[in-house]
Amino acid sequence: MAPVLPSPARPLRIGTRGSPLALAQAHETRDRLMAAWSLPADAFEIVVIRTTGDDRSLIEADRPLKEIGGKGLFTREIEEALLAGRIDIAVHSMKDMPTLQPPGLVLDCHLPREDVRDAFVSPLAAGLADLPRGAVVGSSSLRRRAQLAHRRPDLRLVEFRGNVQTRMRKLADGVAAATFLAMAGLNRLGLAHVARSPISPDEMLPAVAQGAIGVERRADDRRAAELLAPIHDAPTGLRLACERAFLAALDGSCQTPIAGLAELDGGALRMRGEILRPDGSEVLSAAGEAAPEDGPALGRELAERLRSRAAPGFFAPA
């Protein structure tokens, strides 16, 4: 039996942050639900929820995430609204999501994954190799900063926060000569031209779950589960199950630089993982493959291999 469908009189409430990218992701989710269930746009309500991570003073101060609360900064208030019933589903960038959901919430719907690559963005240089020695590069990502420090230890790295538009303004103001953004976000905003050059994962392994959108719901809400089922992309789900198991086994947070990418190739799931010292002085990597349904076990196995090779003190304290 089909679920009770939302209507203009009783719309499905979709919770999201208010940044242009977050809204684009919420609208993509709405549009896929509209197509799946032949519903009009006004059968849905986009509910913007301000999170701690959206605090303007924190963005302008360029304080590292690890100093102000980690990944939960971008999800806590949205998940509280979901648990309280003020919204019916929540749309998230999977890269921002902790590996564990609060009791009562599940994250089992993923939209088709976008481009996983990082993008080099600069008004001055065509690529990373073209930056002069000592150039200032801004990034809020501990992973990107460590990867850059490893590849170009001559560069000066500074904290650089904010949405795409804020970061572009900071570049124009000369705060930094270059930064890195996710190609997925630029594509979703229609700003792919902003990238001077996408960077191959072979050169710069992306963050776990980069390019993926997840839709969270209450565990006991069968109606929401049934509404979301047709828009879930199973290949993306298999890839993320592997990557997030890898991250969870490493106690992934904003404290230790971690990168990982799982890809489906024929009947196999291949995963590459990487951990780095924050200063880029050491990089450890591992790779393996498994049947797609064994992705979580593969992720945990690669994490344990890296842990066994890491010297004492490799992982930053929580």
Q: Is 214 helix (H, G, I), strand (E, B) or coil?
A: strand
The DSSP string of 20-83 is HHHHHHHHHHHHHHHHHHT--GGGEEEEE---GGG-HHHHHHT--HHHHTGGGGGTHHHHHHHH
Spatial separation of the C-alpha atoms in residues 43 and 18, rounded to whole Å: 20
Q: Parallel, antiparallel, or unpaired for β 213-218 and 89-93?
A: antiparallel
Catalytic residue, candidates 54, 88, 96, 118: 96
Tokens of 36: 């799946």
Residues in the chain: 318
Q: Which helix (H) or strand (E) holds 290?
A: strand 283-290
Burial state string for 137-150 with b = 16 or more CB within 10 A and e = fewer than 16: bbbbbbbbbbbbbb
Count of CB atoms situated within 10 Å of the CB of 243: 32
Tell me how many degrees the CA angle 230-233-237 measures, rounded to the nearest 5: 130
Backbone angles phi, psi at 307, to 5 degrees: -60, -40
Residues 6+ apart with CB under 8 A from 238: 262, 264, 269, 292, 293, 295
Q: Parallel, antiparallel, or unpaired for β 12-16 and 105-110?
A: unpaired
Residues 6+ apart with CB under 8 A from 193: none
**130 in active site:** no
Spatial separation of the C-alpha atoms in residues 99 and 51, rounded to whole Å: 19
Q: Which residues are catalytic?
A: 96
